[in-house]
Structure 1
Amino acid sequence: MSTPAKIFPTWAFFSVVINGILMLAIALLILRQQGLTAFFGSAHSATPVKHNSQPQVTPTPKLGPRHKFTYPQWVDVLKKEAKAKAEKPPQNLSILAGDSLSLWFPTELLPEDRNWLNQGISGETSDGLLKRLDLFDRTQPHTIFVMIGINDLIRGASDETILENQQQIISYLRRVHPKAQIVVQSILPHGGEEATWERREKLLAIPNSRIRKLNQQLQDIATKANVKYLNLHPLFTNKQGNLRPEFSTDGLHLSPQGYLVWRSALQIYTQIELDKGYKGEVGTRGQGE
């Protein structure tokens, strides 16, 4: 008796195709790195270039006195910024919800075809993000991009805790923003032995293989919840499974090159996976009218 052939879901096929396109985009971006360096050269011309075995450290984007804010001060600022967007709703609003990786996304590198509200806080965890999602309850976003989890791992949280918080984040966003397209983004790898972050030992205690497994489980949660999943992880990973040095400043945070990769992924993904559905109907698979 022959075994019935397994049916390959249509959404899974398109997910593979989209990821393949993103990988191609990354290959092209690597070839453009020299041009990107020139683009940012004027902003960092005063920074000496050190030639050694360690990856070059790119200056962290400056936010003026904001980088010294305490957590409550950050929450207060984000609340006010969200309130402004709610009172005068812009067209095509997209929200970045997450930690320092989202926080430091250079404004000039965010896709121009959208209005952006950055709701990232440095050091944020999945539990912290879950507790402050109500800050942008009154906004009317087209899309909400969520990336969270690396700080949970650094602080020793279990995979079960992280995934439970992610599930609650998804459930909350679907309930409060039924017309928004929710995109859960994968947790990025870290730089491993090449990392220069000040708490490097914390990163080395987290196998990147654990992050890959966690992302697989996160994708399953997103699929079951009928929200989108954007797998950025392979775009930032080298042959050793670590964060590519050229895409990072210290093995944890992203360089301008890294943000260009992320930007391109957002552009391609939204054009192929999101905007096509938004023209005909509001929301994603299974999200309410």
Structure 2
Amino acid sequence: MAVASPLLSSSQVRSALHRLQGIPAWALLSLVINGLLFVTVMVLLRQLGRAGDMPSAANAFAADQDVAIAPLEPDLGMRHRLDYEQWVALLAAEAQAVAAIDAPRQTILLGDSLTLWFPDQMLPGHKTWINQAISGENTDGLRNRLHLLDDTSPEAVFMMVGINDLIWGGSAADLVYNVRMMVDYLRQTHPEARLVVQSILPHGGESATWEGRDRLAAIPPDLIRQVNDQLKLVAAETGADFLNLYPLFVNGDGYLRADLSTDGLHLNENGYMVWRTALALFNETDFRP
């Protein structure tokens, strides 16, 4: 059963206390080390494909996990009308609220609309997930607001950011540099936290229906792969972990799989199911108390 503090009922901060059972941690670590995370998620995708339609897949997930699946479109209410500065102010208030009540097992999500729209009920359980994502966010913006998290006490921080840098003509070098600086900053302010850099996802290219499809099509698939290689190197050099989601979402031509996306940029429920499964397996590889 999900537990939410009344203080945070109007925010995206949720307390998810669902117990993940089944495979022991040592076995999950072995799966990841041997590259079987990819195989595990591919099996899930095949199962979803056999399910036929999305509602049945969602219901099967809910039955297995005792979790209700929320609509994919987030219930952001008045937040749809917020400008960037208002978003930052709102997320700052949410971070302060979490810090004030010292929520247990805080896990912070940082990123753009891909992270923002992650359905709360699909996030792995037994953690207090704090979604600090903003639609359209880039690495400059995220780097400039990291100090708002200084008073929180995260157990882990998951970051996926950078696609908007490329969409709007930013350089890959600046993107990677900003991620490195953010990991360094988070390491200084939250030395006990597990820091996880997540790969950038592929995009749908010319087949995308997103309104900025021309800008997407201008980003070569090879550039996404190169950026991810650099992000992996940043993680290794800074002591962060690297969660490579890219292979789970890419098709044979180097673009985002259409069956996991709504428009060639954003994810559908199957896409979030894949991401959720990867997060759940990845979380179980952390042996620190």
Q: Shorter-normalised TM-score: what interval?
A: 0.7 to 0.9
Q: 1:261 aligned to 262, 274, 278, which one?
A: 274
Alpha-carbon distance, 1:20 to partner: 2.0
Distance 2:45 2:150 in 1: 38
Pair 1:72 & 2:80 matched: no
- String of CA shifts for 1:192-226, please: whole Å, max 9, x gaps: 22211001000000011100011001111110111
- String of CA shifts for 1:70-105, please: whole Å, max 9, x gaps: 101111110111011100112211000111111111
Which residue pairs with 2:54 in the alignment? 37
Alpha-carbon distance, 1:41 to partner: 7.4
Distance 2:34 2:205 in 1: 24
Alpha-carbon distance, 1:62 to partner: 3.3
Alpha-carbon distance, 1:114 to partner: 0.9
Aligned letter for 2:54? T
Distance 1:168 1:23 in 2: 29
- String of CA shifts for 1:233-253, please: whole Å, max 9, x gaps: 101111111111111110001
Given the two structures, how large is their TM-score scaled by the length of structure 2?
0.81
Which residue pairs with 1:148 in the alignment? 161
Distance 2:144 2:86 in 1: 15
Unaligned runs of 5+ in 2: 1-28, 60-70
Which residue pairs with 2:220 in the alignment? 207
Pair 1:197 & 2:197 matched: no
SS in 1 for 2:87: helix
User: Contact between 2:139 and 2:165, CA under 8 Å: does it hold in 1?
Assistant: yes
User: Contact between 2:203 and 2:265, CA under 8 Å: does it hold in 1?
Assistant: yes
Distance 2:32 2:120 in 1: 29
User: Contact between 1:19 and 1:231, CA under 8 Å: does it hold in 2?
Assistant: no
Cα root mean square deviation, aligned: 2.0
Distance 1:41 1:15 in 2: 28
Alpha-carbon distance, 1:150 to partner: 0.1
User: Contact between 1:195 and 1:252, CA under 8 Å: does it hold in 2?
Assistant: yes
Given the two structures, how large is their TM-score scaled by the length of structure 1?
0.81
Which residue pairs with 1:45 in the alignment? none
Unaligned runs of 5+ in 1: 1-13, 43-57, 280-289
Aligned letter for 1:138? D
Which residue pairs with 2:35 in the alignment? 20
Alpha-carbon distance, 1:61 to partner: 2.9
Corresponding residue pairs, total: 248
Distance 1:36 1:133, change over 3 A: farther
User: Contact between 1:182 and 1:228, CA under 8 Å: does it hold in 2?
Assistant: yes
Distance 1:17 1:249 in 2: 28
SS in 1 for 2:242: strand
Pair 1:104 & 2:117 matched: yes
Aligned letter for 1:25? T
Pair 1:222 & 2:235 matched: yes
